[in-house]
Structure 1
Amino acid sequence: MGPRKALLILGLMCMLGECFSKCPDGFGNNHDICEDIDECKEFEGGCGNNTVCFNTNGSFYCQCEDGFANTKKKVNFTMDDGQCKDVNECYDNKEICGHKAVCFNLLGSYNCTCHSGYTNPTNDLKHCIDIDECKEAEMKKDLCGIKGTCKNIDGSYWCMCPEGYTNYGHESTPCSELDCETFQANSRPAQSLKGLADMMRDNCLALSNPHIASEGKTDGEALLEKLLTAIEAILSPGHLNHSKDMSGFLQTVEKSIRHIGPQLKDSITEMETTEIGAKIAVQRGKTQPTGPILLTNENARLDTDWTTAAGTGTYPGFALAALLTYKNLEKSVNNSFEELKGHEKNAKNPSSFKISSKVVSVVVSNPSTQNLSSPVNITLRHLNETAESSEVEYICAYWNDRGAWSKEGCHQQQTNATHTVCTCEHLSSFAVLMALYPMTHPFALILITKIGLTMSLLCLVLCILTFKFCRSIQGTRTTIHLHLCVCLFVADLIFLAGISKTEPVGGCRFVAAMLHIFFLGVFMWMLLEGVQLYRMVVLVFNATIRPLYLFIAGYGTPLVIVIISAIVNPKGYGTKEHCWLSLKDGFIWSFFGPVCCIIFLNVFFFIITVWKLAQKFTSLNPDLSTLNKIKAFTVTAIAQLCILGLMWVFGAFLFEEGIGTTVAAYLFTILNSLQGALIFVMHCLLSKQVREEYAYFLSCICTPQKKRYSDLSSTNPSSSQSRGSQSGQHTGESQI
C-alpha cells in the first residue's frame, strides 16, 4: 500500500472519529503525520557483521558484502535469517589465480602470489609473468659463475657449464670448476688407494662433460656407497703401513666427500660399513645458509655453523659439512708422536702417548679449512673410561700432512672420564691422545721402601745364619727355609739396588731377569715346603727329600722358565720406567702364570695336609707331640704363602705403565718389607730349639769364662752326652 493511500485512509478514519494516535510498523508520528523510519540509520549494525543494510518504505533488508555469503543462502534477509560468513574463493575456484601463482584466502577476499621465477608488476591478481633472470644477472655477473652461461626458461633459468665445470645436475646452481687431477695418486701409493683415487677421478671427468651433467645422470648416494666400500677394502687388510700412505689416504677420502656432497639429494645422508661411518649435511640455495650444525654418532659429535662450513668466498650454491668416523683406524695410527715431544706438562718427566679415541675426519665445503672464521668443537668418546690424574693427560691432536700427530691449533676445552671436547681452528682428521706419565712416587714411599727392605734384608741374614748353623733344627724343612731365605734375600737386594736403574739397557734386562729367577725361586721353595709337609703327614718313615732333588726343583725350574721366556721375547725384560717384565703382549704372565700355578698347588697340598692331620688327631692312639709340631709347621707355611701371595696381588698394579696407584705401591712395599721379619719370627723366634740356641750363644758372648786345663780335663764326659741327648730331643723334624 502506497503512502498517499495510507494517508487517505487515515484521514477518512479521522473524519469518522476513528483516528488513532500511533502509526503502522515502519512509520513514525510527526505532528500527527506518519513518516517512514530509516532503520539502517537508526539501528546501526542491525544486519550483523560483514553486511550492507538497505532501507525501504516502512521496512529494510540486508545483503552480504562482497566475499561473504549468507549461511541460509538468501540474497535479501533480515538479521533473523542467518549471518554472513567468508567465502573461500581459493577452494571454490581452483584456477582463480592461474598456474603461475598460488592463491591465499583472505577475510572477504583472496590474494595471488606469484611462483618463484614470476612477478606481477601491475598487481593484477591473474597476471604473473616470467622473470628473465639472465638479464638481471648481466649486471650481477655471478648468477651462473664466471664461466657459466645463463639460459632463461619459463619460471626459471639454466646454467650451462663448459667442459671442466659443473653444476652437479642442478640447473639453477652456479658452475663450479672441477680439479680432477687432485685425485691423482701420489708418488708411492698403495695399489688399493690408487684404485680409490682412479674411481673418484673418473667420476670427476664424467661430471666435467657438459652432456652428462645436463642430463642429470649423477647419483651421489650410489657414489658414496662405492666410496665407503672402497675404504673398507683398503682398511680391512691393513694395507696402509706407512705414515705417508696414511696421509694420502685421509686426504683422498676428504677430497672425495667434498666432491660427492653436492651430488647428494637429501639434506642429511648417513651411511655405515664395518670400517667407517659417514654423516653428511648439505644445504642448497641462492643465498649462503646460516644457523648451527650438529652431527653426532656414538663416538663423536661435531658442533659448528653453516657460515664456517660455507666460508667467506664466492658462494657456489651449496654448502656441506660431514663427520667421518673410522672404527678401527686407531690401531694403524697409534704411532708417529715425534712432534708431540716437548709438549708435556712436565718436561723433566717425559710421557708416552697412545690413541684414546676413534679417529674422526671433519669435512666442509669451505676451501680455506686451515684458517676458519670461528673454531669448531669436536667431542670424542674415550675408548676406555679413565679419569684424568697426575699420571694421565688427554691431548687433542690431528694428523698433519707430514704423517705425524700434532696439537697445533687444537686445544682441549674440557674432559672427563668418558669424553673430551676439542676446539680446533682448522679441520683435518682428529683423535684424542692419552699422555701417560711414569708414576713418580712420593718421598715417603721411597723412604719406606729403603728402610723396610733394609730391615727385611737384616732379618733374612739372621734367618740364613740360623738355618745354616743351628744344629738342633737341621733337616729337610730347614734346608728349604734356608734356600727360600737366600732367594728372597737376593731378590730384595736386587730390587732395592737395581729396579729403577733403566740405563744401560743391557744392565736393566739383566736385573729384570735376575728378579724373575729369584722371585720365582721363592715361590718354588714354598711349594717344596708344602710338598714336604704333605710327606711328613702321609709318610711315617723316610719323609725327607734328597737335597739334589730340592736344588733341581728350587733353582732349576725358575731358570728354565726364564731361559724360555728370554728366547721367546728377549725385549720383554726391562721397560723405560722399571727393570722388570714388560706388560706388552702378555709377557708379564711368564711370571704371574707360574706363580698362580704354584699357589694353586700349594693350596691343594695344604688342604690335604690339614685333612690328614684332622684324621690323625681323631685316631685311637695319636702321637700328639708329633702332630702338634706338624700343625704348627702347617700354620706358619700357610701364613707365609698368604703374605707373599697377597704382596704380589698388589705388585701386579705396581708396574702398570702410567696408571699404577700409590695405594698399591704402599701396600706392596709394606708387605715386601714384612717378608724377612715374618720368616724370622715364625721360623726362628717361635721355635723353642732356636730360642735355646740363641740363649746359649748370647750367654757365651756376654759371660765368657776362661777355663783352666785342669777344668777341661776334669769335665765329666757324661754331661756332654746328656746335653747332646737333650738337644736331640728338640730336633723337631729329625725326630719326626
Structure 2
Amino acid sequence: MGGRWNLLLLALQLSFIAVLSNPLCPEGFFQEDQICKDQDECDPSEYAPKSFGPCGKDARCINTNGSFYCQCKDGFISSTKTLNFSAGTSAKCKDINECLEYTGLCGPNATCHNTIPHYSCSCDEGFISNTRVEDFHHGDNVTCIDINECEERALCGLNAACTNTPGSYSCVCNAGFVLKSGKLSISGNQEQCEDVCMIDKTICGNGTCHQGDSGHYCACHVGSTNYGNKGSRCTELKCGFFEDMNYLKEEFPLDLVTQSKNICLELTGSLKDKVQLEGDDILQRLLSMIDKVLSGGAFKDKRKVSIFLDFMENILKIVAPIIKSPGTKRSSTHTELQLLVRRGVDLPQGPVTLSSKHVKLDIKLETAAGELSSYPGFTTVSMLSYSNLEDSADGFFSGMKSQKFKIISKVSTVTVSNINTNHLEEPINLTFYHLNQSGESNHTCVFWDSSEEGTWSARGCSVVESNTDYTVCSCNHLSSFAVLMALHEIENKFELQLLTLVGLSLSLICLFFCILTFSLIRSIQGPRTTIHLHLCISLFIANLIFLAGISRTDHQVGCAVVAGLLHFFYLAAFCWMCLEGIQLFRMVVLVFNTNFKTLYMMAGGYGVPAVIVGISVLANAKGYGTERYCWLNLDFIWSFFGPACVIIIINIFFFLITVWKLAQKFSSLNPDMDNLQKIKAFTITAVAQLCVLGTMWIFGCFQFRERSITMSYLFTIFGSLQGFMLFVMHCLFSKQVREEYGNIVSRFCTPRKKSYSEFSFSNSSKVQASKSNHDTGESQI
C-alpha cells in the first residue's frame, strides 16, 4: 500500500517539473525560447495563394496582440454597416456605388461611372475637361467646359445660321428659308434649309411668293390684300358684295355704301384714285353712318335686316385689320363696338373677353386666328351691339319652333379674322343681359340666318345658364346673335297627348265601322252614301297617319311626306263635305233625285286636293315639316286653311239656300211631304257634319294665339273625336242603319238557319222596299 502512494507522488513531481521547464502560452500566442510570442493571424504566408485570408474577399486583416480584426478595403463597406468586424461573423464586404451615394460627385456637365472598387468621371458629350484628361475624380480640380461647335467647323450650310448651345448646337434657317420637315431648327446635316417659296406654294395665299434680302414677301393678286404686311399671306376680300349698288343704296345711305366699297378696293389695290387709309377715322365715320341708318326707325322687313347684318359682318372684317394694335373700344348713339387686334408671326393663344353694356363675349384667340395654314399674320375679334335693332328683327321666327317668341336682348354681331367660322372646334360664349327682368325661364339663344331671306334660328346655339337677369349662350359658329323668350308654352302637354291618343283610337274604330257600313249594306247605297264612305276613308287615313307619324321629325324627308299626306287627306275630307253640300243643293233647288256621276265626285273629292298639294309642293317644298311636328310650317299654313275656309263658306252658302228653299216648299204644302221630310233630315245631318268638321279647324286657328289652353283642349277634343261623331250622326242616328244592324245581330244570335232562298227573298224584299230611298240615302235624326 505504501509502495503505491510513493509511485503516485513521484509521477506528480515529474509532471510539475515538466510544466516548470515548458510553460503553456495563451490563445493567439506561441512559445519561442521559453517565451510566448504573438501569433500574426494576418500573415499571408500562413494561407494558400488563392485564399482571401481569415477576413474573406475585399477585406483586409488587421493583427492585434493575441488576436486580429477585419476591415473592408477602400471602396467597400460591410454588410453589417460596421467599420470593424471579426472573421467569425456573417459580415461581407460589398462595393460602394459612389455615383449613387454622392450626388454631384463629378461636378456639372460630367457623368459618373462606378467601378470596383472606385469610380471615374468623364465629361458629357459636347463638353471637354479643362485639363484635357478623359477620366478624373472628385478633388482632381477638373471641370467640364462647353465645346463651341460653331467655331470649329461649318455645320449648317449656306442658308442657315449656327447657334451654339450648352453641350450642342442648332441650325436655324435664314429668313426666307425653311426645312422641309417643318422643324424650326436642327443639329447636324440631316436636311438643308431651302427657299420657302419653293417648299410652300400656298404660303402667300392669293399672292405670289418672292425672295428678298430680309426674307420672303408676298405680292398679292388683284382682289386680295395682306394689309401692308408683305411677309403675311394674302387674303381675298369680297368687294363684290359692295359692287351691286342698286339694292344696297335702296336700304342705306349712298355715302356709306360708296365709302365701304372704296375701302375694300383700296385694300385690294383695285382703286384708281389712292386714298390714305386711317383705320380710326374710317371706323368713326362708319359708326356715324350706321347711326343714320338706325335712326330711321325699325325696318319691319326681314330682307332689309338680312342685308344690314350681312353688310355689317363684311365691313367689320375689312376694317378691323386696319386698326392699330391692341384695338379700340367705341360707342355712338345706336352702337357699341369693341375691337381687338393682335399681330405677330406666331398664332396667338389664350382666352379673351370683349364686353359692352348689354353683351359680353368670351372667345379663345386660337379660335379667332384659325389654322396656321391660313393665318394672315394678324388676329382680329370684333363685337358690335345695336341699341334698337331688336325692334326691326322682332317677329321673324319662321326658323323656330311653332311658338310665339319675343327678343329680350340687344342684337350683337361677332366677327373674327378666321375665314372658317361655319363650325368652330371651340364654341364661343356670349352673355346677354336682358332688357327687362323676366320671370320666365324659357329662354332661347338664336342667330340671324340669312340663307332664307332672314329668320332667327337656334341651330348650333344652346343655353349654358339663364336666369331673370341674363342668359349665357354657347354657339359653334359666328353671326349676329340675340336671346328670345317664349311668350307661352302649351301647358298640360301630357293630358293633351292622352286625349289625342284616346280620341283618335276611338275615331279610327268608329270610322272603320262606318266604312264597313257604307260599303257593305246594300239597302243604304246611294250618292250620299258614297260621299259619306269617301269622307270616312279620308279621315281614317288622315287620323292613322297623324297618330303614327306626326312626331317623326328625326327624318326630314319622311316628315315632309307625312305632312304632305296629312295636307292631302284633310283637304280631301273637306272636299267630300263640300260635295255633300252641293248634292243637297242640287236635290232641293234644282231637281229631286239628281245625282253626281261617280267620276265627277272622285275628281272633286280627290283631284282638287291633289292639285292644291301639288301646287303647294312646287311653290314651297320646305313648307312641309317643322322642327316639332310633321305638319305645315306656320308661314305656309294657309295653303290648308285657305282652301278649308273657302269650302266652309261655300257649304254655308249652299246650306242657307237649301234651308230657304225647304221653308218655301213646306209653306206651299207640297203633297210630297215624305221626300221633304227626308231632305230636311239630310240637311240637318249635313249641317251638323259641317259644324263637327268646321268647328275643329276654327278652334285650330286659335292655336297661334298666346296662352290658348282652352282652345287647345277644344281643338284636341273635337279633332280627335271626329270619327266618333260621324259614326253617331250617320249610323246610330239613322233608323235604316240601326235596323240593318239589328238584322245582322239577329242573324248571328238566332239559332234557326234560313235557307238560301229565304235569305235571298228577304234581302230582295228589303231592297225593293227601300228603293225609294236609294237615291236620297235616308239618314234620319
TM-score, normalised to structure 1, is: 0.49
